[in-house]
Amino acid sequence: MAMNLRLRADQTQALKLRAQEEGVSMHAIVLRAVDEYLARSAHETLVREAAKGQTAKWAELLERLK
């Protein structure tokens, strides 16, 4: 899917410098950033759901420990 990404001038410059330093394209860095964000977000969702499950499982004990 094609899309446009509008960056501020300072973001563009920083991205360009980083790409040159790493020897990769700006596009590759943006794709990596998106992949990392999606992975982190998915992990946070799993942790949140696990915490909800454990809270429900141990609700009685947690209430007594208040």
Q: Where in the chain are the domains?
A: 9-64
Separation between Cα atoms, residue 59 and residue 6, nearest integer Å? 47
Per-residue pLDDT of the chain (66 residues; tens, 9 = 90+): 889 999 999 999 999 999 999 999 999 999 999 999 999 999 998 889 899 888 888 988 888 888
Nearest-Å Rg of the Cα atoms of the chain is 21
Which pair of structure tokens corresponds to residue 6? 């509008």
Separation between Cα atoms, residue 44 and residue 53, nearest integer Å? 14
Please, how many CA atoms are within 13 Å of residue 22, restricted to the half-sphere of its CB? 14
With H, G, I as helix, E, B as strand and everything else as coil, classify residue 30: helix
pLDDT at 56: 85
- pTM for this entry: 0.70
